[in-house]
């Protein structure tokens, strides 16, 4: 066990209200590419930049192109939870971890057994008809061709994910703020803290055990009590 992992284990042992705040780096060990790493989506070449395709304006004006990209690059139906997801679910069962606040849309925290999960940017597992509100699952979206249409009314089916230009769900944000503000330990993992308003949530933390686990440098000037630059799954598996 590394020295940093030993320190992390001791901090977890001393805490009883841990909150985990995670980003794309949590899921890269499950084979889901992040957006901003060297080999992430933002560094690949497409007809339009990913930020443009994943905007509300683009979704409305070029839905066929949007759904082509969405199915090809954002859906990973065969991805499985990794060691990080598994350990966090275990800590929740032990009563140590109170909540997971995630920027990810893949549902892997729930697949690993986590119950109290705030999905700031939505989930690929939820899709709704924009006309009648009928619910559709991930399997429907995977097998629909072109622009997905509701079987009941023919309306367009939209993924319940937050696109650029769209606001985050207020209730989800409020719950995340409440958990973070009450935490005695906050673990930030797999995020460069570049995406706002989600990244701004960490400012509500008032405790004295702030841990940062991320392979790359983080944009925010965090006064973290422990910084670990090893892979997050590998790190959490040791505690």
Q: Which residues are catalytic?
A: 121
- Look at residue 60 and give its three-state secondary structure: helix
Asked if residues 198 and 162 have their Cβ atoms less than 8 Å apart, the reply is no
Residue 186, beta-bridge partner list: 19, 210
Asked if residues 214 and 189 have their Cβ atoms less than 8 Å apart, the reply is yes
For residues 142 and 70, what is the distance between their CA atoms, to the nearest angstrom?
Answer: 10
Nearest to 104 by CA among 121, 87, 117: 121
For residues 234 and 87, what is the distance between their CA atoms, to the nearest angstrom?
Answer: 10
Other beta carbons less than 10 A from residue 59's beta carbon: 21
Q: Which two tokens stand for residue 158?
A: 């939209």
């Amino acid at each position: 066990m590394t020295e940093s992992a030993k320190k992390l284990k001791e901090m977890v042992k001393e805490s009883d209200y841990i909150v985990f705040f995670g980003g794309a780096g949590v899921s890269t060990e499950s084979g889901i590419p992040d957006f901003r790493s060297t080999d992430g989506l933002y560094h690949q070449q497409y007809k339009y930049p990913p930020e443009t395709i994943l905007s509300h304006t683009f979704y409305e004006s070029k839905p066929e192109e949007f759904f082509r990209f969405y199915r090809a690059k954002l859906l990973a139906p065969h991805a499985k939870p990794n060691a990080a997801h598994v350990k966090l679910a275990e800590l929740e069962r032990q009563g140590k971890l109170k909540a997971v606040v995630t920027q990810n849309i893949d549902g892997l925290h729930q697949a690993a057994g986590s119950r109290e999960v705030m999905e700031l940017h939505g989930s690929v597992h939820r899709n709704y008809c924009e006309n009648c509100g009928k619910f559709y699952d991930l399997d429907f979206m995977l097998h629909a061709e072109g622009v997905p249409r509701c079987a009941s009314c023919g309306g367009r089916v939209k993924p319940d994910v937050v696109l650029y230009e769209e606001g985050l769900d207020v209730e989800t944000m409020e719950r995340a703020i409440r958990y973070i503000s009450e935490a005695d330990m906050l673990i930030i993992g797999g995020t460069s803290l570049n995406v706002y308003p989600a990244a701004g949530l960490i400012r509500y933390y008032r405790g004295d055990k702030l841990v940062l686990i991320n392979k790359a440098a983080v944009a925010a000037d965090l006064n973290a009590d422990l910084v670990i630059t090893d892979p997050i799954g590998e790190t959490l598996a040791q505690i």
